[in-house]
Amino acid sequence: MSRTTGAGRGRYRVPAPDPLAEPAAPVGPGWTASLAVANGAIWAGWYGPLQILLAWQAAEVAAPAAGMPKESVLAWVTGVGAVVSLVANPLFGGLSDRTTSRYGRRTPWIAAGVAGGAAALAALAAARTVLAMALAWGAVQLALNAAFAAITAAVPDRVPHRQRGAVGGWLGAAQILGVVAGTGLATVAGGLGAGYLACAGFVVLGTLPYVLGHRDAVLPAGRRPALSWRALLTGFWISPRRHPDLGWAWLTRFLINLGNVLVLLYLLYYLRDVLRRADPDGGVLLLTAVNGVTLLTTVVVGGIWSDRAGRRQPFVLGAGVIMTVATVLLAVWQTWPGAVCAAALLGIGFGVFTSVDLALMMDVLPAAAHRGKDLGLINIANSLPQVAAPALAAPLVHLGGYRTLYAVAAAIGLLGALLVRRIRGVA
């Protein structure tokens, strides 16, 4: 492909970017900033409901629903959303890999996903039954995961290896700020419906700079992989035997995320039942703030440092060790100062891990033709721990208390960090 520029005798042909080639030209700050803002906006669309709105709505819906308390309503609704998310991310990533639109492979899915997600959030505001809530929240997850899969795939499409840590850091920072923004909008909007509409508007406005200001390279129809449902579904399995680096990288991400979720899942109960805090809600808020501040200080710096060093493994390993130390503190130093120190260390470790692990994952992708699908499968290592952790944590606390829970979480996270050494293709 090529395009003609100039006029008259001065015309010359410049090759257009190849959508299936490894990128070589560095991306500019404008591209990175607009993609990061779009990423943060989508996280705001998820976490405004998850942190505040769905719980309020579940309490309203549960009141007239005989035999179903608000906790059960919330569990059913979020459970449906989690299942949809697990399927939607790799599905839409695979569809975007095959898109031959004149606007590129990813941008149409970002635009359509955001528009659909905003509409679904508006529908969710009007839901008055458990079924309506579940269907609407499932639609939100379906649409926003379509946009998120395309945003994630845009990074290996456009960003060369030497920049991926830095870009991953900015995306991680935007994710954290998006969670804060969504929670804030849901809190101050002035009601359930207003909260959902505020989150919907923020999602749309946050993605406009990227959608309107940047276009992807176009995939020619002749180079599109054959589209069949059988090929699409069978493509959702990546053989660890054929691609061992990707398999070890996926397992590393899954185990470190699982350890982190186990730490955070029962934090409120830990403060109330073990530390005997008079205000456990306020304690969780303070620890979350400490964790967020330290995470923000390392998420970008860690990615840039990794790019300059030209290495990923030492940073993932170091981050995992720091998080393990923090988790051990919760098990052995069961005091309020111990919890504050643990929260700070967890932020430091998880900040470095967030940016560098994203770059590492992109460095081990098998092929450019199906980056979106492969990254969708990788993202399951983020969402699956949310499902597995409650099933694992409850019996651990019941049998051995919080010392056992945090000891097991520390061992899982450390194992994940150590397994990064099994990756051969990335230093």
Domains in the chain: ranges and CATH: 29-218 (1.20.1250.20), 244-422 (1.20.1250.20)
The H or E element that residue 3 is part of is: strand 2-5
In tens digits, the chain (427 residues) has pLDDT values of: 444 434 444 443 334 467 777 888 898 999 999 999 999 999 999 988 887 888 888 888 886 655 677 767 887 888 888 889 888 988 898 888 888 888 888 999 999 999 999 999 999 999 999 999 999 999 999 999 999 999 999 998 899 988 999 999 999 899 888 888 888 888 888 888 999 999 999 999 999 999 998 878 888 877 776 666 666 666 666 777 777 888 898 999 999 989 988 888 778 788 888 898 888 878 887 888 888 899 999 999 999 999 898 889 999 999 999 999 999 999 999 999 999 999 999 999 999 998 898 888 888 877 777 778 888 888 888 878 877 887 888 888 888 888 999 999 999 999 999 999 998 878 7
C-alpha dist (Å) from residue 417 to 58, 142, 332, 404: 38, 31, 21, 20
What's the first-to-final CA gap in the chain, in angstroms?
A: 35
Alpha carbon distance 280, 144 (integer Å): 33
Q: For residue 141, give the nearest of 386, 362, 347 by alpha carbon.
A: 386
Beta bridge partners of 159: none
Exposure string of 316-355, with b = 16+ CB inside 10 Å and e = fewer, is: bbbbbebbbbbbbbbbeeeeeebbbbbbbbbbbbbbbbbb
Specify the residue for token string 């004149």: 102
| Whole-number pLDDT of residue 222 | 74
Alpha carbon distance 83, 141 (integer Å): 9
Which residues neighbour 258 within 8 Å (Cβ) at sequence distance 6 or greater?
385, 388, 389, 392, 412, 413, 416
| Whole-number pLDDT of residue 133 | 94
Specify the residue for token string 């503190």: 329
Indicate the length of the chain as a whole number: 427
**What phi and psi, each to the nearest 5 degrees, are found at residue 14?**
-115, 125
Distance of CA 28 to the CA centre of its chain: 23
Number of H helices, E strands in the chain: 14, 2
3-state SS string for 252-310: HHHHHHHHHHHHHHCHHHHHHHHCCCCCHHHHHHHHHHHHHHHHHHHHHHHHHHHHHHC
Alpha carbon distance 217, 27 (integer Å): 14
| Whole-number pLDDT of residue 122 | 96
Alpha carbon distance 240, 251 (integer Å): 10
| Whole-number pLDDT of residue 413 | 93
